[in-house]
Amino acid sequence: MSISHDNKEEPPCDGPNYRFINLIAHNAADTFASDIAKGLAAPQKYIRSMHMYDTDGSELFERITQDQDYYPTHAETEILARFAPEIAACLAENTALVELGSGSAKKTRLLLQALLDKHNHALFCPIDISGDFLRENVRCLSGDFPNLEILGIVADYYAGLSVLANEIHQPILMLWLGTDIGHADRNAAAGLLRDKMIPALKPGDRLLVGIDLKKSAEPIHRAYGCPGDKEPLRYAFNCNALRRINRELGGNFITEKFQRYCFYNETLGRIETYLKSLCDQQVTVASLGRSFDFKEGELVHLHFAYKYDQDDILQLGKAAGLKLQQQWFDEKAWYSLNLFAVA
Ligand SMILES: C[S@@+](CC[C@H](N)C(=O)[O-])C[C@H]1O[C@@H](n2cnc3c(N)ncnc32)[C@H](O)[C@@H]1O
């Protein structure tokens, strides 16, 4: 009943220039189940956004990034296409790249190429919970970049970071792209950097963080497919959390009985994404041995996506104890890449 994509027995799958560490093989289903039990029993129901990702979820997200309205990916690609050599020039000799939530790592290729142009050899360490998707992408990368050594870590960010000290004995650039930092509120984001990420780094290491910028609501609404009920791809991606509960925990969610509800909250500078129950209904999750009641119109929170202005970014660095070393922007100045130095 509680078998996840990432939980099946894996054949040995290391290759000539890549290997994997899997830190979620044996307890992923338990963690997923307890998280879902907690989130659906809360007064404001929620499902953590990480649970939208398995292979299907990662593929759906990848399709969203190809939508011309999804500017965060296009802007980040534009910045890296233009400035990757300049970013590489800011880094110490022999710097290894560690990427949190690497996904397809398509944009990262631009930076990897710039590092390889500089040093001819590099180490890349992507960390992602979507294990099969990570493995597939590592294999593709290894074929395309024979001089790249890759250590793929299938793990939650923080578990993944805990192995770095044993595995990497050279300067690190930690990448957190795709504006994923925006899922945490601004104070919590600084806390994550300060308490979870910086402790995995050494003085002199660096962090490159993709941060989406505040702007008028219109392009943000188009990027996130708001109003939410009109957009089938983003709806399918969000519903993947429900489908995972059905598949992996024996749930009986009928996704058609939920609608996507998404809007930009200009006061708080954040996108808010929910699933809304279209009727009074009860859903049973067999492996939890319990049912959950949903009222018509009740919301299940999926994620926020916070947008920053320059003061917010400066404040983030200050609160996290990081020095903002350099920034790069796309032509429209809708998006930023921020290089922070660990003191
Ligand atoms: C929004 S996607 C971004 C992917 C890629 N960085 C990009 O910019 O296109 C988030 C990625 O982070 C991974 N992810 C989400 N939460 C995670 C967590 N807590 N630990 C590890 N990976 C996570 C997902 O599987 C997914 O690949």
Interacting residues of 272 by C-beta distance below 8 A, sequence separation 6+ = 262, 263, 264, 265, 301, 304
Which residue pairs from 29-34 have beta carbons closer than 8 angstroms and sit at least 24 positions apart in sequence?
29/2, 29/3, 29/4, 29/248, 29/249, 30/2, 32/2, 32/4, 32/244, 32/248, 32/249, 33/2, 33/249, 33/287, 33/288
Counting as low any pLDDT under 70, the low residues of the chain are: 1-12, 25-26, 228-230
pLDDT of residue 231: 87
CA 14 – ligand 1 centroid, Å:
22
Q: Does the Cβ of 240 fall within 6 Å of ligand 1?
A: no
Ligand 1 atom closest to the CA of 180, numbered from 1: 1
Pocket probe for ligand 1: among 35, 49, 50, 212, the residue whose CB has the most ligand atoms within 8 Å is 50
In a domain, 72, yes or no: yes
Cα dist from 43 to 94, 243, 296, 301, whole Å? 50, 22, 15, 11
Range of the domain at 199: 65-216+308-342
Q: Does the Cβ of 228 fall within 6 Å of ligand 1?
A: no
Helix/strand/coil for 98: strand
Q: Does the Cβ of 335 fall within 6 Å of ligand 1?
A: no
Q: Are 148 and 112 in contact (CB under 8 A)?
A: yes
* DSSP states along 146-174: TTEEEEEEES-HHHHHTTHHHH--S-EEE
Tens digits of per-residue pLDDT, 128-162?
A: 999 999 999 999 999 999 999 999 999 999 999 99
In a domain, 296, yes or no: no
pLDDT of residue 15: 86
Asked whether the whole model's pTM tops 0.75, one would answer yes
Helix/strand/coil for 322: strand
In a domain, 145, yes or no: yes
In a domain, 149, yes or no: yes
End-to-end CA distance of the chain: 47
CATH number at residue 94: 3.40.50.150
pLDDT of residue 1: 27
Q: Are 123 and 170 in contact (CB under 8 A)?
A: yes
Residue closest via CA to ligand 1's atom 13 equals 101
In a domain, 292, yes or no: no
In a domain, 6, yes or no: no
User: Strand order of the sheet with strand 148-154?
Assistant: 18-22, 148-154, 122-128, 96-100, 172-176, 206-212, 335-342, 322-329
pLDDT of residue 238: 97
In a domain, 285, yes or no: no
Please report, as a single letter, which amino acid is at residue 230: K
pLDDT of residue 26: 67
Q: Does the Cβ of 31 fall within 6 Å of ligand 1?
A: no
Tens digits of per-residue pLDDT, 69-116?
A: 999 999 999 999 999 999 999 999 999 999 999 999 999 999 999 999
Residue closest via CA to ligand 1's atom 17 equals 50
pLDDT of residue 25: 66
Number of domains in the chain: 1
For residue 199, say if its preceding peptide bond is cis, omega within 30 degrees of 0: no
Q: Does the Cβ of 334 fall within 6 Å of ligand 1?
A: no
Kindly give the pairing relationship between strand 172-176 and strand 206-212: parallel
pLDDT of residue 128: 97
Nearest to 101 by CA among 126, 80, 76, 124: 126
Give the position of tokens 């519903």.
Answer: 239
In a domain, 147, yes or no: yes
